[in-house]
Amino acid sequence: MAASTTTTLAGIIPELVGEVIYQLNQTVGILDCVRWVDTKGQPGVSYDFPVFSAVTSSSVYAKTEGTDYTTWVTTTNTAVTATVTEHTIPVFITDLAVMGAQGDLMQMVINLCVNAIRAKLEYDIVALFSGFNNAVAAAGTSLTIANITDAMRYLKDNNANMNNLVMVVSPKQFYGVNGAKGIAPLLKTDNVDAGTLGEEMKQKGFVVAPMGIPCLVSNEINEDVSSGGDALGCIMDRGALGLHSKGLVNIELQRDASNLGTELICSGLWSEVELVDGWGVEWLSDVS
Protein backbone atom coordinates (compact mmCIF):
# COMPACT_ATOMS: atom_id res chain seq x y z
CA MET A 1 0.00 0.00 0.00
CA ALA A 2 1.44 3.37 -0.97
CA ALA A 3 2.14 5.95 1.72
CA SER A 4 -0.23 8.90 1.97
CA THR A 5 0.87 12.22 0.55
CA THR A 6 -0.22 15.73 1.42
CA THR A 7 -2.55 15.78 -1.59
CA THR A 8 -4.28 12.49 -0.83
CA LEU A 9 -4.59 13.34 2.86
CA ALA A 10 -6.69 16.39 2.05
CA GLY A 11 -8.98 14.18 0.00
CA ILE A 12 -9.58 11.44 2.56
CA ILE A 13 -10.21 13.62 5.63
CA PRO A 14 -13.92 14.27 4.84
CA GLU A 15 -14.46 10.53 4.31
CA LEU A 16 -12.71 9.64 7.56
CA VAL A 17 -14.59 12.27 9.53
CA GLY A 18 -17.92 11.09 8.08
CA GLU A 19 -17.23 7.53 9.21
CA VAL A 20 -16.15 8.78 12.65
CA ILE A 21 -19.31 10.83 13.23
CA TYR A 22 -21.51 7.90 12.15
CA GLN A 23 -19.67 5.54 14.49
CA LEU A 24 -19.86 7.99 17.39
CA ASN A 25 -23.59 8.57 16.99
CA GLN A 26 -24.18 4.81 16.98
CA THR A 27 -22.26 4.14 20.18
CA VAL A 28 -22.56 7.12 22.54
CA GLY A 29 -25.73 6.15 24.39
CA ILE A 30 -24.90 8.56 27.21
CA LEU A 31 -25.97 11.47 24.98
CA ASP A 32 -29.59 10.35 25.41
CA CYS A 33 -29.29 10.96 29.15
CA VAL A 34 -28.38 14.66 29.09
CA ARG A 35 -29.42 17.99 27.61
CA TRP A 36 -26.96 18.17 24.72
CA VAL A 37 -26.22 21.33 22.74
CA ASP A 38 -23.59 21.43 19.99
CA THR A 39 -22.42 24.88 18.85
CA LYS A 40 -19.82 23.86 16.28
CA GLY A 41 -19.46 26.62 13.70
CA GLN A 42 -20.82 29.27 16.06
CA PRO A 43 -18.66 31.90 17.82
CA GLY A 44 -17.72 31.53 21.47
CA VAL A 45 -16.68 28.62 23.67
CA SER A 46 -19.38 29.00 26.34
CA TYR A 47 -23.07 28.17 26.36
CA ASP A 48 -25.62 29.19 28.99
CA PHE A 49 -28.16 26.46 29.74
CA PRO A 50 -31.43 28.12 30.87
CA VAL A 51 -32.84 26.59 34.04
CA PHE A 52 -36.29 27.91 35.01
CA SER A 53 -37.90 27.77 38.42
CA ALA A 54 -40.98 25.55 38.70
CA VAL A 55 -44.51 26.82 38.12
CA THR A 56 -46.84 24.66 40.21
CA SER A 57 -50.58 24.07 40.45
CA SER A 58 -50.85 26.70 43.19
CA SER A 59 -50.06 29.32 40.56
CA VAL A 60 -53.22 28.50 38.58
CA TYR A 61 -56.26 30.60 39.50
CA ALA A 62 -59.94 29.88 38.92
CA LYS A 63 -60.79 33.00 36.94
CA THR A 64 -63.80 35.04 37.96
CA GLU A 65 -65.36 36.95 35.13
CA GLY A 66 -64.73 40.68 35.36
CA THR A 67 -61.96 40.29 37.95
CA ASP A 68 -58.62 41.93 37.15
CA TYR A 69 -55.89 39.98 38.91
CA THR A 70 -52.92 42.02 40.09
CA THR A 71 -50.84 39.19 41.55
CA TRP A 72 -48.56 37.91 38.82
CA VAL A 73 -46.79 34.59 38.64
CA THR A 74 -43.06 35.01 38.08
CA THR A 75 -40.43 32.46 37.17
CA THR A 76 -36.69 32.93 37.39
CA ASN A 77 -34.09 31.81 34.87
CA THR A 78 -30.76 30.80 36.38
CA ALA A 79 -28.24 30.24 33.60
CA VAL A 80 -25.67 27.46 34.04
CA THR A 81 -22.57 28.13 31.95
CA ALA A 82 -20.67 25.32 30.25
CA THR A 83 -17.31 26.31 28.71
CA VAL A 84 -15.78 23.68 26.44
CA THR A 85 -12.28 22.33 26.98
CA GLU A 86 -10.04 20.38 24.60
CA HIS A 87 -9.59 16.61 24.80
CA THR A 88 -6.98 15.20 22.41
CA ILE A 89 -5.27 11.98 21.35
CA PRO A 90 -2.06 12.43 19.28
CA VAL A 91 -0.95 9.45 17.17
CA PHE A 92 2.02 9.10 14.78
CA ILE A 93 1.62 6.56 11.97
CA THR A 94 4.74 5.63 9.99
CA ASP A 95 4.71 4.99 6.27
CA LEU A 96 6.11 1.49 6.84
CA ALA A 97 3.19 0.70 9.17
CA VAL A 98 0.71 1.80 6.51
CA MET A 99 2.52 -0.22 3.80
CA GLY A 100 2.64 -3.35 5.94
CA ALA A 101 -0.96 -3.25 7.14
CA GLN A 102 -3.42 -5.87 5.86
CA GLY A 103 -6.27 -3.38 5.93
CA ASP A 104 -7.03 0.32 6.13
CA LEU A 105 -4.68 1.12 9.00
CA MET A 106 -5.59 4.79 9.10
CA GLN A 107 -9.30 4.07 9.59
CA MET A 108 -8.59 1.37 12.16
CA VAL A 109 -6.45 3.74 14.23
CA ILE A 110 -9.09 6.45 14.00
CA ASN A 111 -11.75 3.98 15.21
CA LEU A 112 -9.60 3.20 18.25
CA CYS A 113 -9.22 6.91 18.98
CA VAL A 114 -12.95 7.53 18.59
CA ASN A 115 -13.73 4.75 21.06
CA ALA A 116 -11.32 6.40 23.52
CA ILE A 117 -12.97 9.81 23.01
CA ARG A 118 -16.39 8.21 23.54
CA ALA A 119 -15.19 6.57 26.75
CA LYS A 120 -13.70 9.83 28.04
CA LEU A 121 -16.94 11.70 27.30
CA GLU A 122 -18.92 9.07 29.17
CA TYR A 123 -16.42 9.12 32.04
CA ASP A 124 -16.75 12.88 32.42
CA ILE A 125 -20.56 12.72 32.51
CA VAL A 126 -20.85 9.86 35.03
CA ALA A 127 -18.31 11.67 37.24
CA LEU A 128 -21.04 14.26 37.89
CA PHE A 129 -23.23 11.69 39.67
CA SER A 130 -21.35 12.14 42.94
CA GLY A 131 -22.40 15.80 42.93
CA PHE A 132 -26.10 15.04 43.45
CA ASN A 133 -27.06 15.86 47.04
CA ASN A 134 -29.61 13.09 47.44
CA ALA A 135 -28.67 9.41 47.47
CA VAL A 136 -30.18 5.94 47.80
CA ALA A 137 -28.57 2.76 49.12
CA ALA A 138 -25.11 3.29 50.64
CA ALA A 139 -21.59 1.94 50.79
CA GLY A 140 -21.65 -1.74 51.73
CA THR A 141 -25.41 -1.94 51.13
CA SER A 142 -27.03 -4.15 48.49
CA LEU A 143 -29.68 -2.64 46.24
CA THR A 144 -33.36 -3.12 47.07
CA ILE A 145 -36.61 -2.29 45.29
CA ALA A 146 -37.22 0.27 48.05
CA ASN A 147 -34.08 2.12 46.97
CA ILE A 148 -35.47 2.57 43.46
CA THR A 149 -38.92 3.67 44.66
CA ASP A 150 -37.36 6.05 47.21
CA ALA A 151 -35.41 7.68 44.39
CA MET A 152 -38.53 7.95 42.23
CA ARG A 153 -40.45 9.56 45.09
CA TYR A 154 -37.68 12.10 45.62
CA LEU A 155 -37.58 12.97 41.92
CA LYS A 156 -41.37 13.31 41.88
CA ASP A 157 -41.22 15.68 44.86
CA ASN A 158 -38.72 17.84 42.96
CA ASN A 159 -40.93 18.14 39.88
CA ALA A 160 -38.79 15.91 37.67
CA ASN A 161 -40.46 14.56 34.54
CA MET A 162 -41.36 11.01 35.58
CA ASN A 163 -41.78 10.03 31.93
CA ASN A 164 -38.22 11.13 31.16
CA LEU A 165 -36.21 9.22 33.76
CA VAL A 166 -33.17 7.06 33.11
CA MET A 167 -30.91 4.84 35.21
CA VAL A 168 -27.18 4.85 34.54
CA VAL A 169 -25.42 2.05 36.39
CA SER A 170 -22.26 -0.01 36.29
CA PRO A 171 -22.15 -3.56 34.85
CA LYS A 172 -22.11 -5.08 38.34
CA GLN A 173 -24.97 -2.86 39.49
CA PHE A 174 -27.02 -4.13 36.55
CA TYR A 175 -26.00 -7.77 36.07
CA GLY A 176 -25.12 -8.44 39.69
CA VAL A 177 -22.26 -10.38 41.26
CA ASN A 178 -22.55 -14.16 41.62
CA GLY A 179 -26.30 -13.95 41.08
CA ALA A 180 -26.90 -11.20 43.65
CA LYS A 181 -26.55 -7.46 44.40
CA GLY A 182 -27.71 -6.14 41.02
CA ILE A 183 -30.90 -5.04 39.27
CA ALA A 184 -31.28 -8.20 37.19
CA PRO A 185 -30.93 -10.62 40.16
CA LEU A 186 -33.20 -8.39 42.26
CA LEU A 187 -36.02 -8.54 39.75
CA LYS A 188 -35.67 -12.28 39.32
CA THR A 189 -36.25 -13.22 42.97
CA ASP A 190 -39.12 -15.53 43.90
CA ASN A 191 -38.94 -17.14 40.43
CA VAL A 192 -40.55 -14.10 38.81
CA ASP A 193 -38.69 -14.97 35.60
CA ALA A 194 -40.10 -18.50 35.45
CA GLY A 195 -43.06 -19.71 33.41
CA THR A 196 -44.97 -18.16 30.52
CA LEU A 197 -45.51 -14.79 32.21
CA GLY A 198 -41.83 -14.54 33.14
CA GLU A 199 -40.71 -15.29 29.59
CA GLU A 200 -43.07 -12.65 28.23
CA MET A 201 -41.75 -10.11 30.72
CA LYS A 202 -38.15 -10.80 29.68
CA GLN A 203 -39.00 -10.56 25.98
CA LYS A 204 -40.64 -7.17 26.56
CA GLY A 205 -37.54 -5.80 28.26
CA PHE A 206 -38.77 -6.03 31.85
CA VAL A 207 -35.25 -6.41 33.19
CA VAL A 208 -33.71 -3.63 31.08
CA ALA A 209 -36.43 -1.19 32.18
CA PRO A 210 -36.92 -1.84 35.91
CA MET A 211 -39.91 0.01 37.33
CA GLY A 212 -40.47 1.28 33.80
CA ILE A 213 -37.19 3.26 33.76
CA PRO A 214 -34.77 2.65 30.84
CA CYS A 215 -31.34 1.53 32.03
CA LEU A 216 -27.94 2.37 30.53
CA VAL A 217 -24.95 0.28 31.60
CA SER A 218 -21.68 2.22 31.62
CA ASN A 219 -18.18 0.75 31.91
CA GLU A 220 -16.92 4.16 33.01
CA ILE A 221 -18.65 4.05 36.40
CA ASN A 222 -16.27 3.40 39.28
CA GLU A 223 -17.03 -0.01 40.83
CA ASP A 224 -14.57 0.35 43.72
CA VAL A 225 -15.39 3.73 45.26
CA SER A 226 -12.90 4.53 48.05
CA SER A 227 -11.60 0.95 47.66
CA GLY A 228 -14.79 -0.28 49.28
CA GLY A 229 -16.20 -2.44 46.49
CA ASP A 230 -19.13 -0.09 45.81
CA ALA A 231 -20.37 1.33 42.50
CA LEU A 232 -21.74 4.83 41.99
CA GLY A 233 -24.57 5.10 39.47
CA CYS A 234 -27.66 7.30 39.44
CA ILE A 235 -31.35 7.68 38.61
CA MET A 236 -32.16 11.01 37.00
CA ASP A 237 -34.34 13.12 34.80
CA ARG A 238 -32.65 13.57 31.43
CA GLY A 239 -32.65 17.32 32.11
CA ALA A 240 -30.52 17.06 35.26
CA LEU A 241 -27.20 17.30 33.42
CA GLY A 242 -26.08 19.39 30.46
CA LEU A 243 -23.46 18.77 27.77
CA HIS A 244 -22.08 21.55 25.58
CA SER A 245 -19.89 20.53 22.66
CA LYS A 246 -18.30 22.18 19.66
CA GLY A 247 -17.82 18.99 17.70
CA LEU A 248 -17.47 15.83 19.76
CA VAL A 249 -14.81 14.48 17.41
CA ASN A 250 -12.48 16.34 15.07
CA ILE A 251 -9.80 14.65 12.95
CA GLU A 252 -6.66 16.34 11.65
CA LEU A 253 -3.92 14.71 9.58
CA GLN A 254 -0.57 16.28 8.80
CA ARG A 255 2.34 14.93 6.81
CA ASP A 256 5.74 14.74 8.54
CA ALA A 257 8.04 14.18 5.57
CA SER A 258 11.31 14.18 7.50
CA ASN A 259 9.96 11.56 9.85
CA LEU A 260 8.37 9.48 7.06
CA GLY A 261 4.95 9.34 8.58
CA THR A 262 1.65 11.06 9.31
CA GLU A 263 0.58 12.92 12.44
CA LEU A 264 -3.01 12.17 13.42
CA ILE A 265 -4.78 14.28 16.03
CA CYS A 266 -8.18 13.12 17.27
CA SER A 267 -9.83 15.74 19.44
CA GLY A 268 -13.13 16.68 21.02
CA LEU A 269 -14.39 19.89 22.60
CA TRP A 270 -17.02 19.61 25.33
CA SER A 271 -18.05 20.57 28.85
CA GLU A 272 -20.45 18.77 31.17
CA VAL A 273 -22.38 20.51 33.97
CA GLU A 274 -25.06 19.82 36.57
CA LEU A 275 -28.23 21.78 35.80
CA VAL A 276 -30.86 20.75 38.38
CA ASP A 277 -29.64 18.99 41.51
CA GLY A 278 -33.11 17.84 42.56
CA TRP A 279 -33.54 15.92 39.31
CA GLY A 280 -30.79 13.43 40.08
CA VAL A 281 -30.28 10.80 42.78
CA GLU A 282 -26.88 9.29 43.46
CA TRP A 283 -27.01 5.51 43.66
CA LEU A 284 -24.16 3.96 45.66
CA SER A 285 -24.45 0.21 46.23
CA ASP A 286 -22.30 -2.76 47.16
CA VAL A 287 -20.99 -4.81 44.21
CA SER A 288 -18.14 -6.64 45.91
pLDDT in tens, 91-108: 888 888 888 776 677 778
Rounded-to-integer distance, Cα 169 and Cα 273, Å:
19
Cα–Cα distance measured from residue 93 to residue 81, given in angstroms and rounded to the nearest whole number: 38
75-89, 154-168, 180-194, 228-242, range with the lowest pLDDT: 180-194
How buried is 257 (Cβ within 10 angstroms: 0-12 exposed, 13-18 middle, 19+ buried)?
exposed
Mean pLDDT across the stretch 22-31? Answer: 61
The residue among 284 and 211 whose pLDDT is bigger is 284
CA-nearest of 30, 40, 11, 82 to 250 is 40
> Contact, 242 vs 206, CB < 8 A?
no
User: pLDDT tens digits for 244-262?
Assistant: 999 888 888 888 888 888 8
Q: Highest mean pLDDT range out of 55-64, 109-118, 144-153?
A: 144-153
How far apart (Å, rounded) are the C-alpha atoms in residues 75 and 52?
7
Let me know if domain 6-53+72-127+242-273 sits in CATH 3.40.50.150: no
pLDDT digits over 4-15, tens only?
A: 444 444 444 555
Pairing of strands 46-52, 241-245: unpaired
pLDDT average, residue stretch 121-142 = 93
CB-based burial of residue 282 (10 Å sphere; 0-12 exposed, 13-18 middle, 19+ buried)? buried
Do residues 163 and 215 lie in contact, with contact meaning Cβ atoms separated by under 8 Å? no
- pLDDT at residue number 183: 84
Residue 110 φ then ψ, to 5°: -60, -40
**CA-wise closest residue to 28 among 177, 283, 279, 249:** 249
> How far is residue 151's CA from residue 132's CA, in Å, rounded to a whole number?
12
